[in-house]
């Protein structure tokens, strides 16, 4: 899958034959890798299509789970509370039970009610009932306004 950054207004540059693009969340240029491409397209979709405020998005931060360091891809906040966890995979990585298990592990530490796993072409989005330990699979990524308050 090849993304066209100029079509969505993301600044790019080439250094030593490697493509870099400007990340609006981290405010710096990053080398273009398959997983990073997916991550940037998700951020674009969230902010430009689904009206997620860019200020409420955190990218690639470390968390602790069972005394081990883990790193999530994207975390969305609403009313200063984490509410939506997103795991991005390279386009060649399958979105399946294994990736759902990975994001669920991260969610033990964060306890958010919405999860998304995507590789740019396929996705699993769900609403989590943490108290009942159940998932409701969603047809589409919810808009920011529709997230629980």
**What is the β-pairing status of strands 18-23 and 57-65?**
unpaired
**pLDDT tens-digit series, residues 38-63:** 998 899 899 988 999 999 999 988 88
List the structure tokens of 22. Answer: 């400007």
Q: What integer pLDDT is reported at residue 86 of this predicted model?
A: 97
User: 15 pLDDT exceeds 50?
Assistant: yes
- pLDDT tens for 112-137 read 999 999 998 899 999 998 778 788 99
Where do the domains of the chain lie, and which CATH numbers do they carry? 33-138 (3.90.320.10)
């Amino acid at each position: 899958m090849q993304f066209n950054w100029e079509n969505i207004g993301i600044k790019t540059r080439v250094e030593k034959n490697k493509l870099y693009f400007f990340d609006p969340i981290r405010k710096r240029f990053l080398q273009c890798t398959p997983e990073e491409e997916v991550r940037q397209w998700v951020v674009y979709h969230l902010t430009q299509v689904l009206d997620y405020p860019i200020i409420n998005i955190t990218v690639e931060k470390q968390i602790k789970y069972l005394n081990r360091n883990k790193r999530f891809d994207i975390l969305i906040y609403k009313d200063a509370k984490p509410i939506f966890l997103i795991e991005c995979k390279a386009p060649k990585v399958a979105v399946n039970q294994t990736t759902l298990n990975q994001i669920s592990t991260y969610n033990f530490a964060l306890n958010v009610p919405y999860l998304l796993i995507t590789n740019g072409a396929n996705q699993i989005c769900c609403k989590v009932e943490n108290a009942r330990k159940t998932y409701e699979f969603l047809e589409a990524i919810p808009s920011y306004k529709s997230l629980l308050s």
